[in-house]
Structure 1
Amino acid sequence: MLRKSSKPSRTLMVNKRMLMDVRKLQMGSYKVHMNGDRLDDFYVWFDGPKESPYEGGRWKVHVQLPENYPYRSPSIGFTSRIFHPNIDEASGSVCLDVINQTWSPMYGLNNIFDIFLPQLMLYPNPADPLNGTAAALMLKDQQAYAKRVKEHMRQHGTLLLEADDDADTDDADASELSDVSSAYSSDSD
């Protein structure tokens, strides 16, 4: 006779972890836009950290969670243009070791937006660039680099004042945020 296992399936645990991590982002200071009913595909508005050249900026970051999250790292990319040595200006790809190589299931989405990305903004690594122009300028002249970052933010509408206006009209389907808790709650919780 086969007995029903008392252990929850790995898929159910992974989905609960996705839900928990997305909820934590939403309960924090982040504006999160769900891509339809999908829990694994959404956008987060990320503000530049204080005391960095990126202070006063806001960027839209696309997040895709793999099926076996948190055992595999999320894919993140800036959809708003940004001038940074470790972020490809055209594709938005991010060169961040902790996401690309040393990810651990102990990390969550809050780690990315509360720690990893702010640290990348505060301490760019020009020795491992995705944007060679930004890296070269940063190495050559820190003040010119900071000035270029601010000009780039003004040019591409990522300053907070401008971003607040643009966020409302960014995408027609982004006008209302999805409520992930109602879309993914179940009676078995």
Structure 2
Amino acid sequence: MMTDYKVETINDSMQLFFVIFHGPKESAYQGGVWKIRVELPEGYPYKSPSIDLVNVFEVFLPQLLLYPNPTDPLNSDAAALMIRDRTAYDQIVKEYCEKYAKPEDAGVAPEQKSSDDEVTEDEDTSSDEDVAGKSDP
């Protein structure tokens, strides 16, 4: 898929795999690591997914984390805190990342490079564990 993301197939399937996603640098999510489950359509590669996967991991997810929209939240308490006190909101996000989005929770060695750095096959040491992390604050 992409050379700078760690991708783990599930049961050697081309349709089902995990992508290790690192929080964007210079954000409250920096240092957080998530194991994201991706499922492609049955006819893949002859039937393409409805969205370009590179855009999801390179653009959409980082933008969502860097510029959340508190006027259309999934978590109304977090949105209210973000509007009222951005510093407190960022602090809670950092605490949640340290608590629930540690590299080892996603099956990644703590010293592994972030998604902005290239990952070599020699650094591939993770396992097919359940998706790590809790809901965003």
Asked if these proteins are the same fold (TM beyond 0.5), I'd say yes
Matching of residue 72 in structure 1 with residue 54 in structure 2:
no
Structure of higher RCO (CA pairs closer than 8 Å, 6+ residues apart):
2
1:169/1:71 Cα in 2 relative to 1: closer, same or farther (>3 Å)?
closer
Stretches of structure 2 lacking an aligned partner (at least 5 in a row): 111-124, 131-137
Matching of residue 53 in structure 1 with residue 28 in structure 2:
yes
Tell me how far apart the structure 2 counterparts of residues 61 and 71 of structure 1 sit (CA, whole Å). Answer: 16
Residue identity over aligned pairs, in percent, reads: 46
1:137 to 58, 69, 81: 81
Q: CA deviation at 1:71?
A: 5.4
Q: TM-score, normalised by structure 2?
A: 0.69
The number of equivalent residue pairs is 112
For 1:5, the equivalent position in structure 2 comes to none
Tell me how far apart the structure 1 counterparts of residues 23 and 78 of structure 2 sit (CA, whole Å). Answer: 17
Q: For 1:45, what is the secondary structure of its paired residue?
A: strand
Q: Moved runs in structure 1, 4+ residues, more than 6 A?
A: none
The structure in which a higher percent of residues are helix is 1
Larger Rg: 1
Tell me how far apart the structure 2 counterparts of residues 111 and 64 of structure 1 sit (CA, whole Å). Answer: 16
Stretches of structure 1 lacking an aligned partner (at least 5 in a row): 1-23, 74-107, 173-189
Matching of residue 122 in structure 1 with residue 66 in structure 2:
yes
Q: TM-score, normalised by structure 1?
A: 0.52
Mapped contact 2:40–2:49 kept (Cα < 8 A):
no
